[in-house]
Amino acid sequence: MDAANSNHEALDAAARVPSAEDLDTLSRQLNRPVRDVVEIGARCVCGNPLVATTAPRLSSGIPFPTTYYLTHPVITSAVSRLEAAGLMNQMNEELGHDESLAKAYEQAHLEYLAVRDAIGERSGTGAVPEISGVSAGGMPTRVKCLHVLVGHSLAAGPGINPLGDRALEDINQWWTKDKCYCAGAWDIEGPAPSQDRSRHVKTQAVDPAIKQAERAAARAAREVAARAETDTEK
């Protein structure tokens, strides 16, 4: 498979376009206003968003490695249960001795990078060299955030991220893709959250891998800027 030329995306171009209603639903699902969402990565059978797609560079200019963000509360809490039960440790151990799994997981990492580049192109972000080769969730060799892997599996469709696919199978007592679990899953009364409370909401954004990647990207950006300054002074 040539990762560079075959982007796997579950939704077609028209279905990926976020409507005003989608953005409202995302804010309600996350209980905070959403920012920099450029597409919808996956949808419920009823049409509601399951995964928000963020461009590889935020409107503030900050490079952003985590493209797919799981937003549906029923899925996020089910995946949190798997994390709490120690599934990530089990997967990391398996990656250490199952060579074919490790290979498939590395391929998922390459797919992630390729589709992120394509999303960067489509959204006008263009190339983001600061995060080149940096994906998310612990890929390509570790599992550090199952939410990231499940978001990838939902957005890519089955057969791309082996560990995200497995986590989706493991939550099938709480969520399956053939049924709508939206009723009562978030508050639909009153206005959507408009005040930014994101700093106080614990979500997969606090994944240490993401934080680390953001710090590395910021460091790289500072170095590039410093180098450019030195060059112009010459």
Q: By C-beta, is 112 or 186 nearer to Zn ion? A: 186
Among positions 5-64, residues that touch Zn ion (CB under 5 A) are 44, 46, 48
Under the binding rule (CB under 5 A), the answer on residue 154 touching Zn ion is: no
Supply the minimum distance, in Å, between the C-beta of residue 42 and Zn ion. Answer: 12
User: What's the CA gap between 154 and 158, in Å, rounded?
Assistant: 7
C-beta of residue 108 within 8 angstroms of C-beta of residue 164: yes
Helix, strand, coil shares, percent, the chain, to 5: 50, 10, 40
Supply the minimum distance, in Å, between the C-beta of residue 20 and Zn ion. Answer: 18
Distances (CA, A) of 70 to 6, 40, 102, 203: 23, 10, 24, 10
Among positions 106-135, residues that touch Zn ion (CB under 5 A) are none
Task: Please choose, from the candidates 78, 67, 86, the residue with its C-alpha nearest in 3D space to the C-alpha of residue 152.
Answer: 67
Supply the minimum distance, in Å, between the C-beta of residue 75 and Zn ion. Answer: 11
| Burial status of residue 228 (CB atoms within 10 A of its CB: 0-12, 13-18, 19 or more) | exposed
Number of helical (H) and strand (E) elements in the chain, helices listed first? 8, 3
Under the binding rule (CB under 5 A), the answer on residue 1 touching Zn ion is: no
Q: By C-beta, is 75 or 146 nearer to Zn ion? A: 75
Among positions 71-100, residues that touch Zn ion (CB under 5 A) are none
- Candidates 40, 143, 182, 210; binder of Zn ion (CB under 5 A) is 182
Q: By C-beta, is 48 or 54 nearer to Zn ion? A: 48
Supply the minimum distance, in Å, between the C-beta of residue 182 and Zn ion. Answer: 3
Supply the minimum distance, in Å, between the C-beta of residue 16 and Zn ion. Answer: 17
The residue range among 72-80, 151-159, 176-184, 201-209 that interacts with Zn ion, by the rule CB under 5 A, is 176-184
Supply the minimum distance, in Å, between the C-beta of residue 28 and Zn ion. Answer: 13
Task: Please choose, from the candidates 136, 115, 135, the residue with its C-alpha nearest in 3D space to the C-alpha of residue 7.
Answer: 115
Under the binding rule (CB under 5 A), the answer on residue 188 touching Zn ion is: no
Would you state the structure tokens that stand for residue 225, as one six-digit string? Answer: 């800027």
Q: What residues make contact with Zn ion under the rule CB under 5 A? A: 44, 46, 48, 180, 182
